[in-house]
Structure 1
Amino acid sequence: MLSRKLFFIFVGLIITLLPVAVLAAPPLQEAGQEYTVQADDWLSKLAEKFYGDPLAYPAIVEATNAKSAGDSTYTAVTNPNVIEVGQKLFIPTAQEASTLLGEQVPYLSGDLTIYSGRGEELVGPLIDQFEQETGLNVEVRYGSTAEMAATILEEGANSPADIYYGQDAGALGALAQAGQLAPLPEDALNLVDPRFRSPEGLWVGTSGRARVVVYNTDKLSEADLPDDIFGFCAPEWKGRLGWAPTNGSFQAFVTAMRVVEGEERAREWLSCIQANEPVVFPGNAPIVQAVGAGEIDAGFVNHYYLFQFLAEEGEDFPVRNYHPRAGDVGAMVNVAGVGIVNTTDNKDAAEAFVRFLLRESSQQFFNTETNEYPLSANIQLNPILIPLQQIQTPNVDLTKLEDLDGTLQLLQELGIL
């Protein structure tokens, strides 16, 4: 009798608790739905909530923008970094999101070793996402672009690397010239303008990086700056400039100057800037910081470093980018890019990684998270970036920037390194 009573009590508890359990479980999303932005929402957070993938947020942007074309209650998302409380979004189903993104990474097996000249803080989240999606065991060795390229050259046929991911075309070109890179799949190459990839199909640009001069807006206006990079040779700039000669981006810029302007002109520029006693920094970010602090008036960097400071310090941070209006090599556009090392024993995984970097959500990551220029996806440019077609840029053949050794020799000869 007692056991029968206990049975009915147990059943009663289950019936009582069942609605609570059902209510606690998240409902399956069987159709796209409207969503009103709440405080502390951002697109990647919503993408993780609905799809388990923070990098899937372009699907929400694309679906919302499509709705806004015919429904005035929706506002188009023009800057994925900015959504307003109360703004109406459309959340497509996971299947619809996959279709919108149009990029399913195949499930793969085995290991993939990446030698990355790009910093972990910049590309680590993307590589982690690739590992999650594919099921691969991804090992990343981080270092400078030049160091990682030199390591592959030294290892030669015994290199364990499957992928080389570098921050400039020069290092990629050096590996290609040495016969260390394997041909890339044509479908991946065709996603990128020929200007930003190897004509032999051995490497491809994944994002664009413009050279600029940062200047202190409390001390200078853009009108005060010379038309071209050679104008900083004037004696009036003595003690007011900063540069980072050991930085790979700076060395790629000097290599481009040697290609575009010739050896003597490059030597002349380096010598005259050196005569103006520039402050030497270990990298780009310290230059921007020093300009903001008023320690120097201007410095030579890549465009995206400024935006890190503006995000932290606000729009009152007294530094802005200047693209030299004459369009000389001081305004060149280089690329970060990727190649498959010809010693790879997992070609399918290596090719999948190349395609992954060029897919829309990854290109959107470069566009909004690292503030670089997307090269493969037809996506709306981050509004903080000046469109490339509006910048006067020189005609630099990126495939000819492989002579980094010549640049290092020149810098050493002049006593800069």
Structure 2
Amino acid sequence: MLRSTILKRTYANIPLTGAPKVTQVNNITVITKPSVSKVKDVSLVFGNAGSSHENYYNNGVSQVVAESFISNNAEKAFTNGFKVNSSVGKEFQTFTASGADVSKALSMLQESALTQETLLNNFKAIQDKVVSKTINYESSQYAKIVDEHLHATAFQNTPLSVPVSGTSETISSLVDTDVSEFINKSLTQNTLTIVQQGSELNHEKFVELVSKLQLNKVSNTSTPFVKSEFIGSEVRLRDDTLPKAWWSIAVEGESVTSPNYYVAKVAANVFGSFNLVEPFSRKQGSKLVNDVLEYEIIDSFNHFSKSYKNTGLWGFAAESTKIQQIDEFTHFALKQWNRLTVSVTDLEVARAKQALKLQIASEESIESLAGLIAGGAEVASLEQQFEAIDKITAADIKNWASEKVWDRDIAISGTGQIEDLFDYVRIRNDMSMMRW
């Protein structure tokens, strides 16, 4: 077969994106971030919002605000050549307008996302819509529910324990004053960052457009930050009527400003992810994947490193129809975690670094960027991120794992047919091993 040199050069010349530019104007942070995968996205990022700034009585109010922004503006945006979206995270909320005309996008965001009266339009209808979505979520998205339960038990009675999705009970009990109070408290000017992503950006012109925004109706007083604290614990909701088991185990991870932020992410990618129905998953080469394939003990797993303002979670989430082999996979996974401290190889780390680079380059979403902004981390270019990842060695992974993973307390969550998931003490004992 002939190899095309044109094809080779196409792959070799994929451009990186250049450095983001940051400016302060009128107490607002303005960022332009070049991206080859975006077409002039303009986003408002509020770093004092999200579920961690809700409570157990108004949980889900962010989702109502997000749905209000989308529902009340979708038709108008389409008419003007835009697409609107709003996303909610643990520590942020974003409002995005995607389209070619940046000036019109900013104008629309000012009218729709920065004006409380607009966000309160059609409150009852929007509330009913969000309740319906949440009920469907609670009865079908078990992997995401396990993740929310993991946060709830790991960060008990602290801000990160509050679920992003809200609950159907709390959302149905909201009144419009709850929304109004949340907007005044969380969608504030002093925590606002305005981001433009795309190609051929003009930072100075964008800053000039932002400086003309009328923000007199936006509150400038925000609530103080409350730290979340990790505690080793578990929550299990066994339900044998479900077709499989979902479970997750994690230790405390790194914050977004930690010097070991990328070390933790590389460590997670040493084990990566696996899906039984995806052919590519069988060819990753990790020892954990080889164990899974040899004994056919699981349907899928994914290792993660989630980072927030002052803490994080590092671990895995798994699901399986082979409910009598849950304990085997858990044992294999934790023994591989032990190996991070003593025998992870340079080859494994090199493969993990390349996998992480691909992941970062493929996920240039406003959500991932907003998490960094909300946590107070520097917004870096792809080149800067790749440079930081390239510096990580096997010794760095071993040192980090010895401090953060070896013999550390864990958080466990699970639902479905989880009878074979070992008790907490036995799993906790697997966090260490005889080294001699």
- The TM-score normalised by the length of structure 1 is 0.31
- The TM-score normalised by the length of structure 2 is 0.30
> Which is greater in Rg?
1
